[in-house]
Every structure is written in structure tokens, then in C-alpha cells.
Amino acid sequence: MKGLVFTEFIELVDESFTMETSERMIEMSHLPSGGAYTSVGTYNAQEMITLVSGLSTLTGIPVPDLLKTFGRHLFKRFVSAFPIFFEGIGSAMEFLPRVDDYVHLEVRKLYPDAELPSFSCERPEPGTLVMTYGSKTNLPDLAEGLILGCIDHFGDPVSVKRETGGGNPPETVFTIFPK
Amino acid sequence: MDPQVALLLRRLERERLARKQAEKIVEERSRELFEKNRELEKLSSTDPLTGLHNRRHFGASARVEFERVLRFDLKLSAIMMDIDHFKRVNDRFGHAMGDTVLVEVAGACKTGIRVTDLHARYGGEEFCFLLPETGLDGARILAERLRVSVAGLHFTTDSESFSVTASFGVAERLAGENSIEDLLGRSDKALYDAKREGRNRVVTWEAPRPANPQESG
């Protein structure tokens, strides 16, 4: 997992809780990297799961809620860090199908070693988008947070329904439909 | 120690380690980029088949060389070369053999010229050489050497063996000549004469003689 995701997570914990919470979370996680993350580095995604579990223990907030909140925050950061991906795009329904076909393609050019999730999209009927999330890391809550962050950003009047599909790790199917 | 101070120190230490990692990663990426750039530069300046420079790179380098010889008033000569009846090689032995001929001929020429000479595959079977600090006589001798080298190459197919020849046009920069294109143009004219006069030869460019009033009269 790219270091940017880790540095953003620690910043969010600093801002939403305290720096002390961040430090305690890192300390109790006994991470192979020691928690010294740089945005240009690459780290084992398991460290993210360990950190979020630690934060959940410290704050009493369930892991899925923390990941969803982080996903929403991460999307905002992507918007400000990579504005080129959002040029000329007017809605979440327009942006989300481009994640696999365009955004991840460009990310791979920059980081050939990046292990990216897949978001295959289908449009079963006009106005409805079905996104199937698959990832070795399998963090569907984070994926949901990112999708919700995208909807927040563009302000589409849509709802998201989440279901678990097949596969190992299981795929997660997000249906985005008009409210 | 004050817990707040201890906390800040831990944070600082982690940030110091992260910075060191980042520096190392950036250094590695810079090195990779440098090497990729060098590779790309080579690819963009080289004819992939023969390994000679391509025409674009030759043009740029030749212009720089021309400016240098102009500034110091040095000699400069150019050789244009074309493999004779190359189309027949392709037609008779196929394009793969044609490519082999181009590669071998280019190799022989590259070995024959000096490290300071510029070289290029100028067209399909046409090569060009620019010889800094070399007058017409030196250039003609070099072209003759290349001609003999090319004619000495032997190619073999399943059923027969053959050799090829090449024609050469040589010209030297004239006093007051300010354009590399003019020099190359005169070499090309000499090459045309070499072809017209029977091929497999070196022809040097000569200024057209002024018409003799007695002859014309």
C-alpha cells in the first residue's frame, strides 16, 4: 500500500483525535516499519489494518466506521493532490467508472509496483452504476468511504447499497442508484 | 521526562526515519530516471537496424560541428554513400537479407571511420558521414577505404553467395560556405555522378568550369 495512504491516515488521527492518540496507536501496533512512513514509500497493507484496529481499541469506534471516515477523507485529499483526474468531470456517476480505466492506469505509470484494487463497473439501467470491488488487501469499508467521499464531492443525489459477492477474498458489490 | 516532550521526541524520531527513507527512494528513482533518459536519448538518436545515428540526430550534430569549423576556420568534408542496386538485393534475396546487408555495410563503415566522424543512416540504403578537420583528399581516401571494405563483404544464402558495392560522393566545405545543407547537397551531387559514371566508385565534387568563350564560339 502506498505510503501516502499511511501518512494521510496518521494526519487524520492527529486532526480528529490527538497527536498522543496517533503515537499510542503506532506504539501499540508493533509495526515492522516502526510507523515511519513516507508518502513516496510502499508498505505492507496489513500495517494499515493493524493501525485501524489499534485506533478502534483506543477510541471505542468500530473499525468499519473508522475506515469509512478515512475513505471519505482520503478522497478529499486525492481531489486536491491529483486535480488532473477530475478535470472536466461533473458527477460521481461519471467519475467512478473511470477509476479502473483511467485513474489506476495513470497511477501504475507513476508507481509500477502499486497493488491497486479493482473497481469493475456495469450500468444495468440508466442512472444506476454497479461497482464490484476486489482487492488482495480487502478493505471494503475503505472502498465504501472512498465512494461516499466521491459522492460528497460531486453532490450526486444517489444512494449506495453494499452487498458481499463471491470469491476469495470475497468481492464487494456497490450499487449506486438515484435517491 | 515530561510526557508531552517524550511524545514529541518520538514523533520527531519517526519523521526523521521517514525522511531518510524518502531521500533514499528519491535517490533511487533519480538514478533510474537518469538511466532511462540515457536509454531513451540513445533510442531517439539511433537507427534501430544499423546502430548508426538517425538523420534527425545527424542533422543536429552536423549543424553544431559546422558552426565550430566556421568559427575556427577549419576544414570539413562530407561523404554521401549509397549501396548500389540495393533494390535488386531485396527483390532477389528478400527483405531479411536486405536488412542483413544494411547492418553489415553499416558495421564496415562504422569500423572504417574515425571516432570523431559523424555518421548516419540518411535514407533507406543511403549513409552519410561528416569528417571534421578533414580536407577533400583525406575524405576521398577515407571514402575509398570504405568502398573497398563494403565490396569485400560476402553474403551467403542457402543456395548462393553474393557481394554488394557502394557509390560515394565527397565534398569539402568551400571558403565562405555558410550552410551545412550546401555541403551535403554538393556531396549528394557527387554521389549522383558516381552512380551515373558506373557505380562502385568515389567521386569528388568539382566546381562547374566556367564556359570557355573560345570553345563556345
Q: Is residue B30 part of a domain?
A: yes
> Which residue among A7, A20, A36 places its CB closest to the CB of B7?
A20
Query: Is A176:A123 a contact under the CB 8 Å cutoff?
Result: no
Q: Is residue B214 part of a domain?
A: no
> Are B110 and B184 within one domain?
yes
Q: Is the peptide bond before A169 cis (omega within 30 degrees of 0)?
A: yes
Q: What is the mean pLDDT of residues B109-123?
A: 95
> Which residue among A35, A40, A41 places its CB closest to the CB of B14?
A35
* Residue found under cell 485529499: A77
Residues from chain A contacting residue B26 (CB–CB below 8 Å): 40
Task: State the amino acid at position B133 in one-letter form.
Answer: E
Cβ pair B18:A37 closer than 8 A: yes
pLDDT class for B214, splitting at 50, 70, 90?
Answer: low
> Are B20 and B91 within one domain?
no
Cβ pair A38:B18 closer than 8 A: yes
Q: Which residues 18-47 on chain B approach chain A with CB closer than 8 angstroms?
A: 18-19, 21-22, 25-26, 29
Cell reading at B128: 552519410
> Are B18 and B80 within one domain?
no
> Are B25 and B70 within one domain?
no
Cβ pair B25:A19 closer than 8 A: no
Tens digit of pLDDT for each residue in A78-91? 999 889 999 999 99
Cα separations in angstroms, A27 against A23, A35, A58:
6, 8, 12
Residue A171 pLDDT > 60, yes or no? yes
pLDDT class for B213, splitting at 50, 70, 90?
Answer: low
> Are B163 and B141 within one domain?
yes
Q: Is residue B216 part of a domain?
A: no
Task: Single out the catalytic residue among B15, B35, B125, B172.
Answer: B125
Give how far A10 is from chain B: nearest CA, Å.
11
> Among residues of chain B, what percentage have pLDDT more than 70?
97
Supply the CATH number for residue B141's domain: 3.30.70.270
Q: Is residue B49 part of a domain?
A: no
Tens digit of pLDDT for each residue in B117-141? 999 999 999 999 999 999 999 999 9
The domain tally of chain B equals 2
Name the residue in chain A with its Cα closest to that of B20.
Answer: A38
Q: Is residue B50 part of a domain?
A: no
> Are B62 and B160 within one domain?
yes
Which of A40-44, A83-87, A159-163, B210-214 shows the lowest per-residue confidence on average (mean pLDDT)? Answer: B210-214
Query: Is A54:A28 a contact under the CB 8 Å cutoff?
Result: yes
Query: Is B55:B145 a contact under the CB 8 Å cutoff?
Result: no
Residue from B182, B153, B130 nearest B84 by CA: B153
Give how far B159 is from chain A: nearest CA, Å.
50
For residues A63 and A55, give the distance between their C-alpha atoms in angstroms, rounded to a whole number: 8
Q: Is residue B215 part of a domain?
A: no
Q: What is the mean pLDDT of residues B76-95?
A: 96
> Are B92 and B3 within one domain?
no
Task: Specify which residues A42 forms β-bridges with.
Answer: A2
Cβ pair A38:B14 closer than 8 A: no
Specify the pTM.
Answer: 0.68
* Residue found under cell 538517425: B54
Q: Is residue B29 part of a domain?
A: yes
Residues from chain B contacting residue A7 (CB–CB below 8 Å): 18
> Are B147 and B102 within one domain?
yes
Give how far A37 is from chain B: nearest CA, Å.
5
Q: Is residue B36 part of a domain?
A: yes
> Are B143 and B97 within one domain?
yes
pLDDT class for B216, splitting at 50, 70, 90?
Answer: very low
B125 catalytic? Reply is: yes
Residues from chain A contacting residue B21 (CB–CB below 8 Å): 36, 38, 41
Q: What is the mean pLDDT of residues B72-82?
A: 96
Q: What is the mean pLDDT of residues A93-111?
A: 88
> Are B96 and B181 within one domain?
yes
Cβ pair B22:A39 closer than 8 A: yes
> Are B133 and B30 within one domain?
no
* Residue found under cell 570557355: B212
- State the complex-level ipTM: 0.78
Give how far B6 is from chain A: nearest CA, Å.
10
Structural domain span for residue B134 = 55-204
Q: What is the mean pLDDT of residues B88-109?
A: 96
Q: What is the mean pLDDT of residues B193-214?
A: 86
> Are B140 and B119 within one domain?
yes
Tens digit of pLDDT for each residue in B136-183? 999 999 999 999 999 999 999 988 999 999 999 999 999 888 899 999
Residue B173 parent element (H or E): none
